[in-house]
Amino acid sequence: MNALTPLETLYASERNGGRGGASGGGRGDLPLPPDLLTLYGPLQFPPHPGRAYLIGNFVTTLDGVVSLAVPGHAGGGEISGFNQHDHLVMGLLRASADAVIVGAGTLRAVPTHLWTAEYINPPQALAYQTLRITMGRPEPPLTVIVTARGELNLDLPVFQSGTGPVLIVTTAAGFQRISAQPLPSGVEISTVHHADAISAQEILEAAQSVRQSDIILVEGGPRLMGDFFAERCLHELFLTLAPQIAGRDDAAERPGLVTGQLFAPGRPLWGTLIGVKRGGSHLFLRYAFETKETAQ
């Protein structure tokens, strides 16, 4: 296997540590170990005292497909081509986060997955752990699984491996289904009693009640991402653009980044480009979004 080459920074806004296209350090840089600093460059987030900073991470094809929706081929790896640079970025964001939020649909697409940095990018496991220790968070991030219906298999590795704490956020009906199975050690359930659906704000409140978080990473899927955008909770989106055309036809429903929400033309959500990196033919885009806290 060839050694991973550093990502090339094509653009970094001043708020992202750059000056019109050059990568550079700045206030708020995360204390990346030398290997990660060489491969990725500086990573920083704006000051956000007293509140969690929410970032999303997704990979999409050139034609906007985020899942092939084919059994055994529904995960993000099929979209990125199992790209090493994409794994590097995924691992870095997970290593930076206190909690990682995913939907039950994502779990069903990749049932053996663990939402840790070390799992997605083993070659940099030591560097990721060094980063977490330096940031004062040596334990793995809290994995938050969101399911309205409670249709989960608690024998899956994310629940059974003991790799890190897991919080299931569900409804009252979902709780009844989940309770039919023995609850593994290290797994908690938070129930939203008054609704058949779960809002993004309720997910955040449940996660914060278990672990007070400075940075929270949302990995989807598309319906969950749509909810976080609809409630104006997401501060940034890291979007990997893979050089693949996946295609769609009348028989294949292949989702895009957002499902279940309609924004344009009535209420379009516009992002501000704050970073572009390149690894081979893959582009790594970073956008900032106005949240309900910053909206006037």
Residue 8 lies in a domain: no
Residues 147-187: pLDDT tens digits?
A: 999 999 999 999 999 999 999 999 999 999 999 999 999 99
Mean pLDDT of the chain: 92
Between CA 125 and CA 7 the distance in angstroms is 18
Residue 230 lies in a domain: yes
Residue 81 lies in a domain: yes
CB 84 within 8 A of CB 4: yes
Residue 237 gets which letter from DSSP? E
pLDDT at 200: 96
pLDDT at 195: 76
Which residues are bridge partners to 215 per DSSP? 53
Cα dihedral 63, 64, 67, 69 sign: negative
Residue 25 lies in a domain: no
Domain range spanning residue 105? 52-288
Residue 88 lies in a domain: yes
CATH classification of the domain holding 193: 3.40.430.10
Q: How many CB atoms lie within 10 A of CB 72?
A: 8
Select the more confidently predicted residue: 40 or 250: 40
Residue 3 lies in a domain: no
Q: Give the pLDDT band of residue 25 (cuts 50, 70, 90).
A: very low
Which among 292, 238, 285 is positioned nearest to 269, based on CA atoms? 292
Residue 43 lies in a domain: no
Residue 24 lies in a domain: no
- The tally of domains found in the chain comes to 1
Q: How many CB atoms lie within 10 A of CB 87?
A: 21
